[in-house]
Amino acid sequence: MKRLSSQNEQAPFREELKFDRRLFLTGGLMLGAASLAGCQSAGLVGLPDQADLPDEEFDYATAYAALPDGDYTWPAINYKAFDRKYWRQVVDYKTRQRPGTVIVDPYNKFLYWTLGNRKALRYGIGVGKAGFAWSGEALIRVKREHPIWRPPQEMIARKPSLARYWEKGYPAGLKNPLGARAMDLWQGATDTLYRIHGTNKPSSIGTNASSGCIRMWQQDVIDLFNRVPLRTKVIVLSKDPEAEA
């Protein structure tokens, strides 16, 4: 997997400390009540003040509408043009992992945020070649709003005009390949170079993209970013769960 450098790579732990203050205030992962009746936020794991979970009356038109976000407004998603399975939704999901764990299934193009009580919040994803280059367990150690992006050297070799973005990075904004948010995965003090991030190519969701790690619609990656604290455990599956006997 080629390196997608972070603007925070020189001081990732300073970034972590900033977010860890928020984690401290929440008392870590709040293992919620067993009931998810109504799919509302009460008793949920994760950060406080997060949005309600999607339920039977969830307003997808609003969820995927154009989204003002600081200096940017992320375009609306034509979600009805995609298979409904890729829409943000609560699903039945059996796992032994603790509530609040993120599980990435790159084979079926899903990301699950486990809720307990055999439920999970599922998002559709797109998977770049880098997304199949790493699997295992890691922690979210850096969370970045409006991240910059540095093209990997193999991409620069194919398109030398991108070399100008290597030193200072591609600026944040609507055209940035990492999109609205990025969550960087670490194993101990080692950056896996694996990212969960937004995408400026919404049509890549549900597909194997040409580059990148795990892509999400901007509205979805912001939603996930607002739910998970630092040190959230992330598991990237090494084989297709639907192919298991």
49-84: string of b/e by CB count within 10 Å (b at 16+)? eeeebbeeebebeebbeebeeeebebeebebeebee
User: Cβ distance 190 to 14 under 8 Å?
Assistant: no
3-state secondary structure of 5: coil
Number of structural domains (the chain) is: 1
Q: Quickly count: other Cβ atoms within 10 Å of residue 91's Cβ.
A: 14
Token pair, residue 81, equals: 């043009």
For residue range 51-64, list pLDDT tens digits in order. Answer: 999 999 999 999 99
pLDDT of residue 48: 93
Question: With 70 as the cut, is the pLDDT of residue 35 above it?
Answer: no
Confidence label for 245 from pLDDT (cuts 50, 70 and 90): very low
Tell me the average pLDDT across 226-233: 98
Tell me the average pLDDT across 146-174: 80
Residue 75 lies in a domain: yes
Catalytic site residue from 119, 143, 197, 215 = 197
Tell me the average pLDDT across 153-163: 77
Residue 3 lies in a domain: no
Residue 6 lies in a domain: no
Contacts of 240 (CB under 8 A, 6+ apart): 105, 107, 108
Which is nearest to 75 in space by CA: 242, 162, 199?
199
Active site residue 39: no
3-state secondary structure of 193: strand
User: Cβ distance 16 to 25 under 8 Å?
Assistant: no
Whole-model pTM: value is 0.80
Q: Is 118 left (phi over 0), alpha (psi -120 to 50) or beta?
A: left
Catalytic site residue from 213, 216, 221, 234 = 213
Residue 4 lies in a domain: no
Residue 7 lies in a domain: no
pLDDT of residue 211: 65
Tell me the average pLDDT across 147-161: 78
Tell me the average pLDDT across 222-235: 98
Residue 2 lies in a domain: no
CA distance to 5, 45, 117, per residue, from 1 (Å): 12, 32, 35
Domain that residue 59 falls in:
12-29+45-238
Tell me the average pLDDT across 138-155: 87
User: Cβ distance 227 to 113 under 8 Å?
Assistant: yes
Residue 35 lies in a domain: no
What is the rounded CA–CA span in Å between residue 213 and residue 111?
A: 12
Token pair, residue 43, equals: 């008793």
Q: What CATH number is attached to the domain comprising 72?
A: 2.40.440.10
Residue 113 lies in a domain: yes
Token pair, residue 2, equals: 């080629």
